[in-house]
Amino acid sequence: MLISAANDVVGQGCFVGTRVAYVSTAMKIAIPVWNHRVSPVFDVAKRIRVTEVINGTIHSESEHEPKNGDYAAALTNLGVDVLICAAISPALEAALWDDGVEVVSDKCGPAAMIAEAYVNGDKALRRFHSPGYSDCRRGQ
């Protein structure tokens, strides 16, 4: 479904005249990877795994190498909606949020399992918290 800048419904599958902030049946999840696991620090990751989800089902997966260290631009160019990572610098996290990319940080474990858990509705990914994770640190 597509939504215009004025939040008018442009795509199909909606009630006539309905206004919504954002609705999507497709999304892309990015996870920085190292040895098939979440890379320890997103800012210096060499590879990013992108999982494309359509109607709640994993449709495709691919890996990409960010060019020139511009991670925010790489995710934006790939059309990523959500970044799941371990550590990330505050400046890069803010830049991604500004670009419309949701950041879910402090996660560790096998990248494929994390993507699957997220797609299956475990948005908090609590069982994948990094060691030393604290909700207090993020004001949650």
125 in any annotated domain = yes
16 in any annotated domain = no
Q: pLDDT band at 9, cuts 50/70/90?
A: very low
Query: pTM score, two decimals?
Result: 0.75
31 in any annotated domain = yes
The confidence score (pLDDT) of residue 134 equals 58
14 in any annotated domain = no
Number of domains in the chain: 1
Give φ, ψ of 137 to 5 degrees.
-60, -35
106 in any annotated domain = yes
CATH number for position 43: 3.30.420.130
67 in any annotated domain = yes
Domain that holds residue 31: 26-138
19 in any annotated domain = no
- Which residues does 108 contact at the CB level (< 8 Å), separation at least 6? 37, 38, 40, 86, 128, 129, 130, 131
Q: For 41-59, what is each residue's pLDDT tens digit?
A: 999 999 999 999 998 889 9
Say yes or no to pLDDT of 140 above 50.
no
CB atoms within 10 A of CB 138: 9
Say yes or no to pLDDT of 78 above 70.
yes
Q: For 86-138, what is each residue's pLDDT tens digit?
A: 999 999 999 999 999 999 999 989 999 999 888 888 676 777 877 665 554 44
15 in any annotated domain = no
